[in-house]
A and B are shown apart, each in its own frame.
Chain A
Amino acid sequence: MAVDPVCKMTVEPAKAAAQSQYKGESYYFCAVGCKQKFDREPDKYLAGGGSPMSGH
């Protein structure tokens, strides 16, 4: 299971509504809105904690 870095919800990667690549890592989101926020300022959400799930 992965955690949405924006809203901190638990997300099943295969069923994630959206995903993003950042610095070689894959991030999964519960909704498109979270992905958009993340894509604008990825570092803000990554700095705020939460553990990225390694891709693939």
Chain B
Amino acid sequence: MAATERLTLAVRGMHCAACVGKVEGALRRVPGVENATVNLATERATVGFDAGRADVGALQSAVAAAGYELVEPPAPGVDTSEAEQAERDREQRRARLRFIAGAVLSAPLLLGGMADVFPWAPALLRDPWVQLVLATPVQFWVGGPFHRGFLRDLRHRSASMSTLVSLGTNAAYFFSLAVTLWPHAFRSVGAMPYYETSAVVITLVVLGRWLETRARGRTSEAIRRLVGLAPRTARVVRNGRDVDVATDAVLAGDLIRIRPGERIPVDGVIVEGASSVDESMLTGESLPVEKHVESPVVAGTVNGTGSFVFRGTRVGRDTTLARITRLVEEAQGSRAPIQRLADRVAAVFVPVVLVLAALTFAGWLAFGPEPRLLTALTTTVAVLVIACPCAMGLATPTAIMVATGKGAEHGILVKSAAALEVLHRVDTIVFDKTGTLTVGHAELTDVVVVGPGTEDDALALAAAAEQGSEHPLGEAIVRRAKERGLALPPVAEFTSVPGQGIDALAPDGRVLLGNRTLMDMRGIDVIAVEDRVAKLQAEGKTVVYLAFAGQMLALLAAADVMKPEAPAVVQRLKRLGLEGVMLTGDNRRTAEAIARQAGIERVIAEVLPEDKAGEIERLAIAGHRVAMVGDGVNDAPALARAEVGIAMGSGTDVAIEAADVTLMRGDLHGVVAAVDLSRKTIRVIKQNLIWAFGYNVVLIPVAAGLLYPVWGVLLSPMLAGAAMAFSSVSVVTNSLRLKRWRPDNEEESHGG
């Protein structure tokens, strides 16, 4: 089997949705590449390739040939993100500098060029030569990136926003230059220089770019915050001495010393000392977790007041924290169908706009009023500038990015953008029972005393017999006795009877604790309790019989109890129009008892582990859109098969890998929150697309001058540039509204 390697790499030089398609295409054409997705908002490419047939060098040269830059694969951890952040900051500063220069130079151009609006403008500013001096740096330095992008596109026979901006502004600039050089020829037909048009368009587009880089920087914070959870250095014990070592350089097997209040650098197991550790940043569990020798510790969590030494087991890119970070990164880099639609439209859009611009030019030249060339040029510039697809390219990625970051903050890790898009339309949520709807281990629910003595006496006797038992039911009994602080009577001669229970001797009688078979074998009369047993079993409980000195003493019932929030969650889902279904391998009676308590009407019980996925498929064939919530290894296939798999963070790694969404808190309210987040995200994406498309579609005819014959309305290229910049900004800002999202029913506050 060929090893498929998966890398997420930074891509530089992309500005438009059209670029995304080009980079993806270039990557996919590299032999050995199985899939490649590029995200404009994060400026990242995620590539899956056969490590035997392709390497990073091949990918880089393919991307370079397409006119972009694929950045060297990351050294793991903090450094990468910091280098990226530094690069982002530099880019942001450059964009700001360009914008400021553009604004300073364009302002006098605007004053001088629009003398009708600003009659007080000094005459000097109306001098075309002065205007030329002001406009030239804007055109070629501030607007430089667009022209370079245009030339790059020309070489690759493709088109993007840069094509449009460069064409439009150059048309305006060179037209004005001609007017300046040969004033008599042009002025005779009433032509005026339009330096201010090109300068202001470039300045406004650069402003949009700058705001975009700011927004992009902000929405990527989630990842950086995750990465920042791990400390940079670790105190490693080497040759009996403590040495500070960069976290990246810690090896599996190193001994690491942790002092009070420090963050844990890598995953490992405690070998010396004890403490309590705050793991809330990973699990959302607010209570510190007690740790002693052999307890696992996880990178990024915070030590309490104790100190300890632990042995690193998973380091570098293998720590839980690094894996979670990659989950979020992959989600932010993966693309969803609705986004592909936006991208496809953008790629088609550019040539269509070029054709429209040509038609506009030709139309005005043929039928327009005098001066024909001037009006034709002006309208063509407007059409070219209005049509930048940037806002479209950002519509989906920004929304998905903000939403996944926000989700992660509330313990909902979304692995793929597609999941976030699909989740909003599921109509059926299938819950695994054990560990998902229930707490996952047996709790003692009833003690029914039928002989002499109190409940506590019976419990103490049972606990004494079950001491050291590894049976889950025995553990539940011992736990309860400890909680009640009961003194256990001394017992001896424990005998575990396989398949039946326990036989032990107390000072004044024999203790028998086990099932019906044990009682029968020992001749204990159970007729008197049969009704009680039947009733408890109907409630889905497991019943053990306790006999003492030849007599039935008590019945102890235990059950895997339902999570307390389950009924509320099922109710909330119902209000959202989602049906809850229970899927379990347990017997029907136990399953139905829990389902009744949770308010779930549909129960699929007694399902073999390998058939769980089949049941999901059956629901899908019946026309349901199914999300599956589970935690066990046996749920993994069903999680993968469902349209959206949701794993409980308390679950197994296998389940988490198979699922699309992981709820880091074991809390079922996360299911409702995830559905809600998905619905809100979709709404924002649709709004974004309407903003972007609507503005392009509506303004192009106006820019082309179609309204001119009726109302004499023409869109000035300046207004077009402003409208475009603000459309990009509206889309980004609209996406940022998702930052205000909170789960409805968040009971506990953060870090509490």
Where the two chains meet, the residues of A that have a C-beta atom closer than 8 Å to any C-beta of B are 13-21, 26, 28, 32, 35
Taking A18-B522, A19-B522 as known contacts, 10 extra A-B pairs with beta carbons closer than 8 A to each other, sorted by chain A number, are A13-B550, A14-B550, A15-B505, A16-B510, A17-B522, A19-B523, A19-B524, A21-B525, A32-B521, A35-B523
B115 at the interface (CB under 8 A from A): no
Report yes or no: B509 in contact with A15, Cβ–Cβ below 8 A.
yes
Q: Which residue of B lies closest to A15 (CB)?
A: B510
Contact with A along B224-241 (1 / 0, CB 8 A): 000000000000000000
Residues of chain B contacted by A28 (CB below 8 angstroms)? 550
CA distance A15 to B508 in the complex (A): 7
Tell me the B529-559 residues at the A interface (CB within 8 Å). 549-550
Which of A13, A14, A28 is most buried by chain B, counting CB atoms within 10 A of its CB?
A14
B421 at the interface (CB under 8 A from A): no
B196 at the interface (CB under 8 A from A): no
Report yes or no: A14 in contact with B508, Cβ–Cβ below 8 A.
yes
Q: Which residue of B lies closest to A35 (CB)?
A: B523
User: What is the CB-to-nearest-CB distance from B294 to chain A, in angstroms, rounded to a whole number?
Assistant: 39
List the 8 closest A-B pairs by CB distance, nearest first. A14-B549, A14-B509, A19-B523, A18-B522, A15-B510, A20-B523, A18-B523, A19-B550
CA distance A26 to B522 in the complex (A): 12
A-B contact pairs, 21 of them (CB 8 A): A13-B549, A14-B508, A14-B509, A14-B510, A14-B549, A15-B505, A15-B510, A17-B503, A17-B522, A18-B522, A18-B523, A19-B522, A19-B523, A19-B550, A20-B523, A21-B523, A26-B550, A28-B550, A32-B521, A32-B522, A35-B522
Residues of chain A contacted by B505 (CB below 8 angstroms)? 15
User: What is the CB-to-nearest-CB distance from A37 to chain B, in angstroms, rounded to a whole number?
Assistant: 13
Report yes or no: A16 in contact with B521, Cβ–Cβ below 8 A.
no
Residues of chain A contacted by B521 (CB below 8 angstroms)? 18, 32, 35
User: What is the CB-to-nearest-CB distance from B669 to chain A, in angstroms, rounded to a whole number?
Assistant: 51
Residues of chain A contacted by B509 (CB below 8 angstroms)? 14-15
Known contacts A21-B523, A32-B522, A35-B523; A16/B550 CB under 8 A? yes
CA distance A32 to B510 in the complex (A): 13
Residues of chain A contacted by B549 (CB below 8 angstroms)? 13-15
Residues of chain A contacted by B523 (CB below 8 angstroms)? 18-21, 35
CA distance A28 to B523 in the complex (A): 9
CA distance A16 to B508 in the complex (A): 11
Residues of chain A contacted by B524 (CB below 8 angstroms)? 19
Residues of chain A contacted by B550 (CB below 8 angstroms)? 13-14, 16, 19, 26, 28
CA distance A16 to B548 in the complex (A): 10
User: What is the CB-to-nearest-CB distance from B487 to chain A, in angstroms, rounded to a whole number?
Assistant: 21
CA distance A14 to B508 in the complex (A): 7
Residues of chain A contacted by B525 (CB below 8 angstroms)? 21
Q: Which residue of A lies closest to B525 (CB)?
A: A21
Tell me the B546-597 residues at the A interface (CB within 8 Å). 549-550
Tell me the B503-532 residues at the A interface (CB within 8 Å). 503, 505, 508-510, 521-525
Which of A16, A18, A21, A28 is most buried by chain B, counting CB atoms within 10 A of its CB?
A18
Residues of chain A contacted by B508 (CB below 8 angstroms)? 14
Residues of chain B contacted by A16 (CB below 8 angstroms)? 510, 550
Which of B503, B525, B550 is most buried by chain A, counting CB atoms within 10 A of its CB?
B550
Q: Which residue of A lies closest to B493 (CB)?
A: A15
User: What is the CB-to-nearest-CB distance from A40 to chain B, in angstroms, rounded to a whole number?
Assistant: 13
CA distance A18 to B525 in the complex (A): 11
User: What is the CB-to-nearest-CB distance from B340 to chain A, in angstroms, rounded to a whole number?
Assistant: 71
CA distance A32 to B517 in the complex (A): 12
Which of A20, A32, A35 is most buried by chain B, counting CB atoms within 10 A of its CB?
A32
Q: Which residue of A lies closest to B508 (CB)?
A: A14
Q: Which residue of A lies closest to B550 (CB)?
A: A19
Residues of chain B contacted by A21 (CB below 8 angstroms)? 523, 525
CA distance A19 to B521 in the complex (A): 9
CA distance A20 to B519 in the complex (A): 11
CA distance A44 to B505 in the complex (A): 30
CA distance A21 to B523 in the complex (A): 8
CA distance A35 to B505 in the complex (A): 19
Residues of chain B contacted by A19 (CB below 8 angstroms)? 522-524, 550
CA distance A28 to B510 in the complex (A): 12
Residues of chain B contacted by A20 (CB below 8 angstroms)? 523
User: What is the CB-to-nearest-CB distance from A36 to chain B, in angstroms, rounded to a whole number?
Assistant: 8
Residues of chain B contacted by A17 (CB below 8 angstroms)? 503, 510, 522
CA distance A19 to B523 in the complex (A): 5
CA distance A2 to B462 in the complex (A): 26
Residues of chain A contacted by B510 (CB below 8 angstroms)? 14-17
User: What is the CB-to-nearest-CB distance from A29 to chain B, in angstroms, rounded to a whole number?
Assistant: 8
CA distance A35 to B550 in the complex (A): 13
Residues of chain A contacted by B522 (CB below 8 angstroms)? 17-19, 32, 35
CA distance A27 to B522 in the complex (A): 11
CA distance A17 to B547 in the complex (A): 11
